[in-house]
Amino acid sequence: MENPQPPLILQWLPVPLETLVLASHSPRRAEILRQAGIPFVIRVALVDEDPHPGERPEDYVVRLAERKAMAVDAAPEEIVLGADTTVVVAGVMLGKPASPAEARHMLARLSGRRHHVLTGICLRLGGQVVRDWAATHVWFSAMSRREIREYAASGEPLDKAGAYAIQGLASRYVERIEGCYFNVVGLPVALVYHHLQVLKKQAGEP
């Protein structure tokens, strides 16, 4: 189980340009930014996360990232980051399971197969908007029915896209990955940092 989430900073507070506004309540994205030494505050606005009929996974995550980034208040000099992650197996998107039973169903689909983790990001600074996405390929080992049942019952899958946390108990089932590890956790931090640097240079920061 994860540690209790820190309280969210929901009020509107202007911050220096070197500080990022994270439009997400995900404790994992916040921890990735902290580990990378990127200062930030959190402001969150709820958005509808239902996919559109026939929507491609990469379009879906980028659209939601942009909606999140646009939904929060920000001063013209602030950089806002929105992000969204989904898991895709055999062309089917897996969101966050609503119950242990749904988690078991998702884990059974992932067992012994390769799947893809996609994260869309959107950064906005004033009228400038940058959209991008990253994909990581993940290979799961075969899980027994007992392993699926016990992992689903642990509670760890319930707030995770695809019903697992690569940084947690599920790490024992990940045989290998191709791409960014942090993307699987919830944020492709190197991609975010690249776009942050470009935006700051365009804004005239040294």
Residue 165 CA neighbour count, 13 Å, CB half: 18
Measure Cα distances from 104 to 120, 145, 166, 200 in Å.
26, 9, 16, 44
Q: Tell me the two tokens of residue 90.
A: 């055999």
Which residue, among 120, 17, 100, 11, has the nearest Cα to 59 in the 3D structure? 120
Q: What's at 8, amino acid-wise?
A: L
Beta pairing, strands 79-89 & 20-22: parallel
Question: Which residues carry out catalysis?
Answer: 84
Which residue, among 116, 113, 132, 135, has the nearest Cα to 124 in the 3D structure? 132
Q: State how far the Cα of 6 lies from the Cα of 8, in Å rounded to an integer.
A: 6
